[in-house]
Amino acid sequence: MTQPQLTVVIIGGGIGGLFAANALIAHGFDVSVYEQAPALGEVGAGVFLTPNSVRQLQRVGLGHQVERWGARVGHGSHYFRHDGAPIAPVQVTDSAGWNATFGMHRADLVEMLASALPSGVVRTGHRGTGFEQTGEVARVSFANGAVAEGDVVIAADGIHSELRHYAAPPSRPVFHGSVAYRGVLPHRCIPHWPTDCWQMWLGKGKHFLSFPVRSGELINYVGFVPADAEMKESWSAPGDPDVLRREFEGWDPRIGTLLSQVEKTFRWALYDREPLPAWTRGRLTLLGDAAHPMLPHLGQGANQSIEDGMALATILARAERASVPAALLAYERLRRERVAAVQRGARENGMRYDLVLRRSRRSRCRDRSACGVPQTALRSRRRAGSASRGGCLGLNGCYVATAVNRAITLSTVGVCSCARPAFPRIPCACGHRCGAFLRVNVDDSAAAFASIDDTRKACGRRCSAGSGA
């Protein structure tokens, strides 16, 4: 008998929700996406796509679109001091040496993902406000009075998710004392700016980065500066270009040249959340920023949302209607530990970027860690946790453990010193506490993501339950 087609309701039409819709439709699901805005769109800013997400975009048939609309970042990428003195090159390949790192305009990425969906999948003007489930049916109610039903509900509605509290205990966004001024400039305004590399300048308490988007026609810039008071978390809050220019006055003249052309900028207050203890309740699960908002200092926010979508689609592809709750728990078990490590790494990277720049042992260690070259500190005392035991996590290159003032931290820009991906252990989802674990390759995630069948096999080798989730 043919397995009945599962119906999936996705709340949120951002990058994570739209990619999940593409991945689920590729597996034959009936998918609807509900977005609260009257139309899909993004602010004028860029997003950095690293190999771990580019692989997933290729697997849903969008690799050529990434090549068309993105700007490949190459080996000229570099770290600089605030005055322009070079620190170290940036490694932009993954742990296997695969160079597929792109800058993309957010609006281009959203349009690309939405255009790949069948007509009628995306429905705008729907703000999800309520959730309930009875038996094998989950329902979402909207502020406009509409109701949607499905076998699965995915809350991909961002850091201020309306549905998060139905799956996770209450939590508050954490303000990290800084804001990012961001925007894009036409390359014709700064014709000598490179169109094939990522660049970052590090200074006292602040840093500045740039990378190309839209095939090099536009240059994306982000200036990170301290803030004295909390402010609204928003991608689209207007910023003052004159304030931005004053913040980086006296820095590398190249930055001054770029900022002299800025007429409009956006101000983004930087928030994340502590890792949530749960993402899933019955037929509802969280995805992307709704589950794990993170600071931008690893460039992994959008990339981890894309990984979420592929993991969820792969696992649900093996599920039946009755086993959906178990499948969603398997997705959560697979993803929660990984993204929590990325959240922590983003915080640590931001602190390292904004250390007081002085020629001290600490400063020299930071410079070396920015290069991603393994240090002798790898042999020193390590903190608890899988990431600090010398393994990579399969991001842009990978994480490499390095030392800053005798403390092990994470660097995101180096190639893996062990030249192999990490294989975290995911607990068996059989529900019998059998103690079995499934090793999952997260460096090439979609090729080896845990599925219900995989979990059964892992369980069957070590416990009598054997039936799995």
DSSP 290-339: GT----GGGS-HHHHHHHHHHHHHHHHTT--GGGHHHHHHHHHHHHHHHH
Cα(183)–Cα(245) distance, integer angstroms: 13
Q: Are residues 281 and 333 in the same domain?
A: yes
Indicate whether 260 and 184 sit together in one domain. yes
Q: Residue 93: its pLDDT value, please?
A: 82
Rounded Cα–Cα distance for residues 162 and 58 (Å): 31
Regions in the chain scoring below 50 on pLDDT: 1-2, 356-469
Exposed e or buried b for every residue in 180-216, given b needs 16+ CB within 10 A?
bbbbbbebeebeebbbebbbbbbbeebbbbbbbbbbb
Q: For residue 113, is it within any domain?
A: no
Predicted confidence at residue 176, as pLDDT, reads 87
Same domain, 200 and 94: yes
Q: What percent of the chain has pLDDT over 90?
A: 62
Helix (H, G, I), strand (E, B) or coil at 342: helix
Which H helix or E strand runs over 274? none
Please give the radius of gyration of the chain, using alpha carbons only, rounded to the nearest integer.
Answer: 22
One-letter amino acid at 301 equals G
At 53-109, the pLDDT tens digits run: 999 999 999 999 999 999 999 888 999 999 999 999 988 887 777 778 999 999 999
Is there a single domain that holds both residue 34 and residue 47? no
Counting the structural domains of the chain, the total is 4
Q: Which helix (H) or strand (E) covers residue 469, if one does?
A: none
Report if residue 262 sits inside a domain: yes
Structure tokens at 319: 């599920």
Asked whether residue 161 is domain-assigned, the answer is: yes
Q: Are residues 149 and 262 in the same domain?
A: no
What mean pLDDT is reported for the chain?
79
Residue 334: inside a domain: yes
What CATH number is associated with residue 149? Answer: 3.50.50.60
Could you tell me the CA-to-CA distances from 35 to 32, 153, 294, 385 in Å, in that order? 10, 14, 22, 38
Task: Give the domain extent around 201.
Answer: 43-106+173-272
Domain boundary among 351, 373, 394: 351
Three-class DSSP labels, 134-173: ECCEEEEEECCCCEEEECEEEECCCCCCCCHHHCCCCCCC
Residue 419 lies in a domain: no
Distances (CA, A) of 1 to 4, 203, 469: 9, 64, 21
Residue 76 lies in a domain: yes
Classify residue 114: in a domain, yes or no: no
* Residues 317, 441 share a domain: no
Residue 80 and residue 59 share a domain:
yes
137 & 191 share domain: no
CATH number of the structural domain spanning residue 80: 3.30.9.30
Q: What is the pLDDT of residues 415-424, one digit of tens each?
A: 233 333 333 3
Per-residue pLDDT tens digits for 5-37? 899 999 999 999 999 999 999 999 999 999 999
pLDDT given at position 427: 42
CB 178 within 8 A of CB 224: yes
Please, where are the H alpha helices in 199-267?
241-247, 253-259
Are 147 and 61 part of one and the same domain? Answer: no
Secondary structure letter of residue 382 according to DSSP? -
234 token code pair: 């928003």
Cα angle 283, 285, 289; round to 5: 165
Last residue of a domain, one of 243, 272, 301: 272
Do 101 and 200 fall into the same domain? yes
Same domain, 160 and 293: yes
Helix (H, G, I), strand (E, B) or coil at 214: helix
The secondary element (H helix, E strand) that includes residue 446 is: helix 445-448
Q: Where is the domain boundary, 272, 289, 324?
A: 272
User: Which residues face 438 on adjacent strands?
Assistant: 426
Residue 379 lies in a domain: yes
**pLDDT at position 316, please?**
95
Supply the pTM of this predicted model: 0.79
Tell me the per-residue pLDDT of 150-184, one tens digit each, with 9 for 90 and over: 999 999 999 889 999 999 998 888 888 899 999 99
Q: What is the pLDDT of residue 448?
A: 34
Q: Does 10 share its domain with 58?
A: no
Q: CA 272, CA 290: separation in Å to the nearest integer? A: 10
Alpha helices in 10-74 (DSSP H): 15-26, 51-59, 63-69
Beta strand pairing call for 152-155 and 7-11 = parallel
